[in-house]
Amino acid sequence: MIVYGKNPILEALRANRPIEKVLVAHDGHPPHQVVKLCKEKGIKIQRVPRQKIEELAGTKKTQGIVAIISPVPLVPPEELFKKAFEKNSFFLVLDHITDPQNAGNLIRTCEVFGGVGVLLPKDRSFPINQTVVKASSGAVFHLTFSRVPSLKRTLEEFQRMGGSVVVVERGGEDIRRVQFPMPCALVLGSEGEGVSKSVLERADLVVSIPMVGKINSFNVSSAGAIAMWEVFKACELAKGD
């Protein structure tokens, strides 16, 4: 996988992801922190024409640096569940979200607010590619990812272990006034179709974000950020207790 831009490459290095080499444009200056970590880890830095950098990345917005890196690994969902229980935290369930920019934004927010990872369906879902990596500012390298054939069956297993499923959808309880059960799977659906009926039926709690303006909907990454902030506050309160 090709990763481009200073921050995503820096986070891959910090997360000890396997990197084959880093390519820097002849007319560019590699970030000091990237050079330092590459030297420490014995990773080769190679200078090449800027055109080569842009061809590999598929964009001109590379900051003059790319890395050739192993794909983000996928794990069995049980590993994701284990981390959620260990940290008494949450993971995201992205139900048929296909837009890589939205996905990257959600992943970044999940990492910032202490989430442990992301559960994805195998069908009709975004690939974890360089666009998602860039949009997440490298947060993908600090989280655990799992893809499963059936979200419903997988969430049932999480519930049997003692976890809770919280769905963000219209018609639910006011998100400001609920007590989030921990650990939890926080479910967000696609902008066009929302959360799948089969997944919605598994919910222990359905929450909604109140709106008073003339525009009656949020972008999914904005809705997800609000929901994760509320879950984060619940996690912090639980620690205080």
Q: Give me the sheet containing 90-95, strands edge to edge.
A: 144-148, 117-121, 90-95, 184-189, 164-174, 205-208
Domain spans, the chain: 2-69, 77-240
pLDDT digits (tens, 9 = 90+) for 139-166: 999 999 999 999 999 999 999 999 999 9
Instruction: Give the pairing type, strands 144-148 and 184-189.
Output: unpaired
d(CA 220, CA 187): 11
CATH superfamily of 77-240: SPOUT methyltransferase, trefoil knot domain (3.40.1280.10)
pTM, whole model, 2 decimals?
A: 0.90
Could you say which architecture CATH assigns to the domain 2-69?
2-Layer Sandwich (3.30)
The answer to whether 128 touches 145, Cβ cutoff 8 Å, is yes
User: What is the longest distance spanned by two Cα atoms in the chain?
Assistant: 56
Give the per-residue pLDDT at 28.
Answer: 82
The rounded distance, in Å, linking the Cα atoms of 117 and 111 is: 8
pLDDT digits (tens, 9 = 90+) for 15-54: 999 999 999 999 888 889 999 999 999 999 999 999 999 9
One DSSP character per residue, 161-205 reads: TT-EEEEEEEEEEEGGG----SSEEEEEEBTTTBS-HHHHTT-SE
